[in-house]
């Protein structure tokens, strides 16, 4: 187990180094390409209830995707992380104004505050059709290198117990985040599809 942890730790460092070497312009360019690919993707077009992460500096920018989701009248859900555990909820986002008013966490990620009980949680209602997955690295087999907290793996296990079942999972990856093979264990949930610039 510790060998796997060490391998993941080393790969996380390498992935962070690769993405840090990208210019802001290149990150914006790849983000635009991926947003266009996603918006034309049949899974996206047919999905009504979509979970999307609010991107950090080292992730594919998701703002254009959120603008499109809200503009098409789809139900958009965003994560609220519980820093003290691996628990995460996906809460309804109502508008861009709503998103821009969210407070920042210690990770500098906007998220609904924990005392905000007014928002619909995806699994307490109709579940999810599609979930966009963040990560530090990905391989072609759908293995994902997260940040080590287990938020998404734990949430997907909860999804699998929902009557609607697990949503289709789609990762958004910079080219530089693609790896030959990501080391995984039994708790790591595979992703259905990895979207990157060079995948046609």
Which carries the bigger pLDDT value, residue 141 or residue 189?
141
Model pLDDT, residue 170: 97
Nearest to 174 by CA among 60, 14, 80: 60
Mean pLDDT value across residues 142-166: 91
Binding residues for substrate: 54, 59
Binding residues: 8-12, 54, 59, 144-152
Model pLDDT, residue 185: 84
Binding residues for ATP: 8-12, 144-152
The reported pTM is 0.93
pLDDT of 96-123, one tens digit each? 999 999 999 887 889 998 888 889 999 9
Tokens 């039994």 label which residue? 186
Mean pLDDT value across residues 174-191: 90
Model pLDDT, residue 121: 96
Q: Which long-range contacts (CB under 8 A, 24 or more apart) does 97-105 make?
A: 99/54, 99/66, 102/54, 105/81
Domains of the chain, CATH where assigned: 2-195 (3.40.50.10420)
Q: What is the CA radius of gyration of the chain?
A: 16
Nearest to 199 by CA among 134, 135, 140, 130: 140
């Amino acid at each position: 187990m510790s060998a796997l942890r060490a391998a993941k730790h080393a790969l996380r460092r390498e992935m962070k180094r690769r993405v840090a070497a990208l210019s802001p312009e290149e990150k914006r360019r790849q983000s635009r390409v991926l947003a266009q690919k996603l918006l034309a993707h049949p899974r996206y077009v047919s999905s009504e209830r979509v979970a999307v992460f609010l991107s950090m500096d080292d992730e594919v920018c998701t703002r254009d995707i959120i603008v499109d989701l809200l503009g098409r009248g789809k139900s958009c859900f965003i994560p609220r992380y519980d820093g003290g555990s691996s628990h995460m909820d996906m809460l309804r986002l109502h508008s861009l104004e709503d998103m821009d008013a969210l407070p920042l966490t210690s990770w500098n990620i906007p998220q609904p505050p924990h005392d905000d009980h007014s928002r619909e949680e995806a699994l307490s209602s109709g579940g999810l059709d599609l979930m966009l997955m963040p990560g530090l690295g990905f391989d072609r087999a759908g293995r994902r290198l997260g940040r080590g907290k287990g938020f998404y793996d734990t949430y997907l296990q909860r999804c699998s117990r929902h009557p609607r079942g697990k949503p289709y999972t789609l990762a958004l990856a910079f080219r530089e985040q693609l790896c030959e093979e990501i080391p995984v264990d039994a708790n790591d949930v595979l992703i259905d599809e990895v979207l990157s610039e060079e995948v046609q």
